[in-house]
Amino acid sequence: MLSGGHLLSVLIFFPAVGALALMMLRGDDHKFIRSIAMLVAVAEFLFSLLLLRGVPIGSSGYRLEEFAKWIPAPPIHYHLGVDGISMFLVLLTTFLTPISVLASWSSIRHRVKEFFVMMLLLEVGVVGVFLSLDLFLFFLFWEMVLIPMAFVIGIWGHERRVYAAVKFVLYTMAGSILMLVGIIWLYNATGTFDLPTIQQMLANGQLVLEPRTEMLLFLAFFVAFAIKVPVFPLHTWLPDAHVEAPTAGSVMLAGVLLKLGTYGMIRFCLPLFPDASHRAARWVAVLAIIGIIYGALVSMVQPNLKKLVAYSSVSHLGFVVLGIFAFQRISMQGAVFQMLAHGVSTGALFLLVGMLYDRRHTFEIGEFGGLSTPMPKLAAFFLFVALSSLGLPMLNGFVGEFLILLGTYQRHWGWAAWAALGVILSACYLLWSYQRVFFGDVTREKNRALSDVSLRENWILATMAVVILWMGIGSPFITRRTAAATQTVMDQAEPQWAYEAAARVSAMPHAKTVSLHVTQTMGVEKLGVR
């Protein structure tokens, strides 16, 4: 059954079954509850490894598709499928979930059962988003992600948790409801919610959107995704949510939830509205570059370590957005890789910051200092992860950023130059904060007796470090598998200017005179230029 037709459904609903089982559980044996959650999460990860077999290298299009009728009017289908891009994002999700479960092993002490139920439900929603090929189904899972995350922030977070949770939900919902209007509008134009069908209609010219309509639709989708990413002026929910969330919440938020936005851009914005995407690319790139530099600068002056990591996410995801909207194959590959790399490295950074918090109950950099003396292992891991995050060659952050900059340069050297500034800045803020936290003398007496990493933490960090290193060295393992899918997206995102073409065809009778006129004026202009 697993390798057969229903692997994707199993992947989506297995954690839901686990969550249901946990909910049914009577009694309050924390250890038992944690073990069950861990078991479910690990089993889910193992299932998801089967995807690697299901999506062969070089295969384009969606694999392992599942299709069932759900609601006849309007026709909504249960349509799942996976390609090279979504496969790795699912793997990232199923990898980070057990890590988060393990990370909350001892730091979550009250309402333990509910916490793990929420973590598993979160996994259901996220995996569902990555695997849906029906716009309606996609929207369903997209909204489903909100509630568990809001609860995780709001119940198990820090002091201003309720504020952060409500802000998170309201921001995301504002975008997604507009997206719903966009989805329905698109349905009105096409008569279907099925993504592959719509793509086909676009490809063979059955569906031609007027430029203004296309731009509005593009914006309806783009704003929803941009809030999630978050792209520069829409990012204000992120620092609050990150700082207030418990460690596991931050890991999932940074590691996976932000990728929902960039994934949405790749999967929906570009292929569905290629012309509008190309038209908007310049503006999006400007916002992305502002985000890269702004995020880095704010990180630099942050006295709060967790906020620093949060703002670094704004900066790093600016790279991803830039890579997507540069419309180069290499930069698109880089964007996909950077999504995965950022998920692992920033997830690891949040884990480390969470470990510091467990010991000292503060995120203030000023409260730390000289920590490498009492905890050398933690310091070593932190350095390793920080280096990967700032893009040291051989580690995972480098591959993504390099590919993105390479591709962006082909598009416009200025974009690449400005973005490269972000790479330098990221080295500044990470190394500077590392120096203030770990090097020098121990400035606070309290810090002198801090315990180094426990066995459990050691395992978590070692796993993360191995993955970081492997992604840096063995990056072809990933890029070879995403190549075909990114190529497909690039082909679909090829601007067709279909509306203009259609208008030209309808203006055929006048074509001769017009073209004559055009050549004449062009000739004149050329002369003028010379």
Partner 1 sequence: MFPHAIDVHRVLPELIWCAFGVLVMLLQPFVRSRQFFTSFVHGGPGFYGLVQSDLFSFFFRLLVGSVSFLVVLAAGPYLDREQLPVAEFYALLFFATAGMGVLASAQELLTGFIGLEMSSISSYVLAGYRRDSLKSSESAMKYFLLGSFATAFFLYGIALVYGATGTTRLDKMALTDGTSTLLKLGLALILIGLGFKVAAAPFQVWTPDVYEGAPTPVTALFSAGPKAAAFALLLRIFATVPAATKYWFWAFWVLAALTMFSGNLGALAQTNMKRLLAYSSIAHAGYVLVAFAAVTSMAQGGSEEAAPAYAAVLFYLLTYALVMLGAFTVVSQLGGAGEKNLSIDDYAGLSQRQPFVAAMLSIYLLSLLGLPVTAGFFGKFYIFKAAVNSHLISLAVLMAINSVIGAYYYLRVIVVMYMREPSAEAAAAGPVPFPLGVNAVLLITFVGTILFGLYPNPVINLILRRNLLGH
- Asked if residue 206 lies in contact with residue 496, where contact means CB atoms within 8 angstroms, the answer is no
Nearer to partner 1, 146 or 265 (CB): 146
Min dist CB 144 to partner 1, Å, is 6
Residue whose C-alpha is closest to residue 242's, from 190, 199, 202, 298: 298
Q: What share of the chain is helix, strand, coil (3-state, %, to 5)?
A: 80, 5, 20
Q: How far is the CB of 173 from partner 1 (least distance, A)?
A: 5
Query: CA 114 to CA 93: how far, in whole Å?
Result: 20
Contact between 119 and partner 1 by CB under 8 A: the answer reads no
* Residue among 234, 244, 221, 111 at smallest CA distance from 166: 244
**Which of the stretches 168-176, 428-436, 442-450, 456-464 binds partner 1 when contact is defined by CB under 8 A?**
168-176
> Among 17, 181, 511, 518, which residue sits at the site for partner 1 (rule: CB under 8 A)?
181
Query: Which residues 128-167 are close enough to bind partner 1 by CB under 8 A?
Result: 139-140, 143-144, 146-147, 150-151, 154-155, 161-162, 165-166
The 33-72 contact track toward partner 1, x by CB under 8 A, reads --------------------------------------xx
Tell me the number of residues near partner 1 by CB under 8 A: 30
- 463-502 residues in contact with partner 1 (CB under 8 A) are none
Q: Which residues pair with 260 in a beta bridge?
A: none
Q: Which of 13, 32, 47, 185 binds partner 1 (CB under 8 A)?
A: 185
Separation between Cα atoms, residue 62 and residue 473, nearest integer Å? 28
As to burial, measured by CB atoms within 10 angstroms (0-12 exposed, 13-18 middle, 19+ buried), residue 527 is: exposed
Q: From 37-45, 177-185, 250-258, 433-441, give the range in contact with partner 1 by CB under 8 A.
A: 177-185
- Kindly tell me which of 184 and 431 has the beta carbon lying closer to partner 1: 184
Check residue 180 for interaction with partner 1 (CB under 8 A): yes
Residue closer to partner 1 by CB (options 169, 404) is 169
* Contact flag: residue 188 with partner 1 (CB under 8 A): yes
Nearer to partner 1, 135 or 399 (CB): 135
Nearest approach, Cβ of residue 345 and partner 1 (Å): 31
Q: Is residue 25 near partner 1 by the rule CB under 8 A?
A: no
- Single residue of 52, 173, 286, 498 touching partner 1 by CB under 8 A: 173
User: For residues 463 and 278, what is the distance between their CA atoms, to the nearest angstrom?
Assistant: 40
Nearer to partner 1, 134 or 401 (CB): 134
- Region of residue 512 (phi > 0: left; psi between -120 and 50: alpha; otherwise: beta): alpha
Query: How far apart, in Å, do the first and last CA atoms of the chain sit?
Result: 70
315 contacts: CB under 8 Å, gap ≥ 6? 291, 292, 293, 294, 295, 296, 299, 422, 425, 426
Smallest separation (angstroms) from partner 1 to the CB of 265: 20
- Largest Cα–Cα distance of the chain, in whole Å? 87
Residue 59: enclosing H or E segment and its boundaries? none
Residues 67-106 that bind partner 1 (CB under 8 A): 71-74
Min separation Cβ 388 and partner 1, Å: 35
Distance CA 530, CA 521 (A): 14
**Residue 220 CB, nearest approach to partner 1 (Å):** 9
Q: How far is the CB of 464 from partner 1 (least distance, A)?
A: 30
- 323-to-118, 293, 331, 384 alpha-carbon distances in Å: 33, 15, 5, 25
- Residue among 80, 152, 164, 169 that touches partner 1 (CB under 8 A): 169
How far apart (Å, rounded) are the C-alpha atoms in residues 184 and 135? 9
Q: Rank residues 154 and 422 by Cβ distance to partner 1 and give the closer one.
A: 154
For 265-395, where are the alpha helices, taking DSSP H only? 270-272, 274-300, 305-325, 329-360, 376-390
Report the amino acid identity of residue 352.
L
User: Min. distance of Cβ 154 from partner 1 in angstroms?
Assistant: 5
**Which residue, chain included where needed, has tokens 């990413």?**
229
The answer to whether the beta carbons of residues 400 and 337 sit under 8 Å apart is yes
Considering only 35-43, 78-86, 172-180, 322-330, which stretch makes contact with partner 1 by CB under 8 A?
172-180
Burial class (CB in 10 A: 0-12, 13-18, 19+), 290: middle
Binding positions for partner 1, rule: CB under 8 A: 71-74, 139-140, 143-144, 146-147, 150-151, 154-155, 161-162, 165-166, 169-170, 173-174, 177-178, 180-181, 184-185, 187-188
